[in-house]
Structure 1
Amino acid sequence: MEQTALRPKPMPGQEPDAAAPATEAGPARPRPRAARRRGRRLVKALFAAFLGALLVLSGIGLGAVGATVAGTGGVLGPRGWHKPSPPEPSPSAAAPVPAAVALGVQVMDAGKPGALVVGIHVPGPGHTAGLERGDLLLVFGTTRIDTAADLARAVARARPGSEVRLTVRHRGGGYQQLTVVPAVVT
């Protein structure tokens, strides 16, 4: 009776009855599928390189053509190239634009009443007043601040150059009243 469990398994690519072991150069029998696989990989790589070069060259060509066509002032719409009609002047365009007032801070909603200071413009009115990142703005003048939008509306109503009192809770927990002078955004 044979004991097949103790017999070693043949290496992949070798026949079980092969008497000649594999040489150092490679297996005893050539592997035709490996050569086909290498050939397919090479063809795929060459095709990808060709396609990439074609896309780059056509992109450069399309860019030059697009710049030339765009210089004519036409617009590409669903029905082809056409000249856009000039915009009609709006009544608000003739009126002077009011100056925008700013504190020079970036705020966001804190999830609780107040606007959390996340950025300060240096130099700016907020920096001059002593605001720091992490401060929570609670009151602007006589207006209670519940959200960042409330602060934006209150600052927009303020007169540039006039002093306004701020109530601030610092990151450490202490409250402070500061005086800020809103400035005109240029």
Structure 2
Amino acid sequence: MSRAFVAVLLVLSGAGLGAMGTAVVGAGGIAELKRQAGLPAATPSVAARSAPSAPSGPVAPSAPVVAGLGVEVTDGGKPGALVVGVHVPGPGFSAGLVRGDVLLAFGGTRVDSAADLARAVARARPGAEVTLSVRHSGGGHQRLTVVPAIVT
């Protein structure tokens, strides 16, 4: 009972159960604590942990690659996506977007809302140039070229 108390005290104090914890609790006590915590009691051997694992073939990405513009948009009450923030650095900043711009088209896709822009950007290929149709806060219209980047 006292060994379990010492182990709990070590864990709660942030000391962890490294070599010192093993010496205090003993190897059997570590396995019991792991079992109670729901962790696997058996640990891989040193040889198994240090052996390099060779890939068995092409490795698929763990997450889908998603394009991004580096801007924050919202619905502005009129058709388009109102830019309320531009990340510096970022693709939108590099293209010349500024806060207050309204994105009206992304490539060949009309943008009536922030959701429309999000869907169009999600379909874009990162690294491929896309033409934006923009209405500036002063009322002028402009076409800008943006290169969506990978969002991580």
What is the TM-score with the length of structure 2 in the denominator?
0.61
Greater relative contact order, per chain length (Cα 8 Å cut-off, separation 6+): 2
Number of the residue aligned with 2:90: 124
After the TM superposition, list the runs of 4 or more consecutive aligned residues in structure 1 that deviate by more than 3 angstroms: 69-73, 82-86
Q: Percent identity?
A: 65
Distance 1:84 1:169, change over 3 A: farther
Deviations 1:145-185 (Å, cap 9, x if unpaired)? 11111111110100011110100000000111111010112
State the match for 2:12 in structure 1. Answer: 68
Counterparts of 1:69 and 1:146, CA distance in 2? 56
Alignment match of 1:165 (pick from 131, 139, 150): 131
SS in 2 for 1:107: strand
Residues matched between the structures, number: 107
Aligned to 1:138, what secondary structure does the other structure show? strand
**What's 1:99 paired with?**
65
Residue type matched to 1:68 in 2?
A: L
- State the alpha-carbon separation in 1 of the partners of residues 114 and 84 from structure 2: 11
**Mapped partners of 1:133, 1:83: distance in 2:** 51
1:37-76 matches, within 5 Å, as 68=12
Q: How does 1:4-15 map to 2 (within 5 A)?
A: none
CA distance in 2, matches of 1:69, 1:111: 55
Corresponding letter in the other structure for 1:107: V
TM-score, normalised by the number of residues in structure 1: 0.51
Distance in 2 (alpha carbons) for counterparts of 1:161 and 1:136: 23
Answer with 1 or 2: which has the greater Rg: 1
Report the alpha carbon displacement of residue 125 of structure 1 after superposing the two structures with TM: 0.7
Q: 2:88 and 2:66 mapped to 1: Cα distance?
A: 18
Over 3 Å counting, the alpha-carbon distance change for 1:95 and 1:183 in structure 2 is closer
For 1:141 and 1:150, how far apart are their aligned partners in 2? 12
| Residue number among 115, 128, 131 corresponding to 1:149 in the alignment | 115
Give distance in 1, aligned partners of 2:39 and 2:113.
Answer: 42
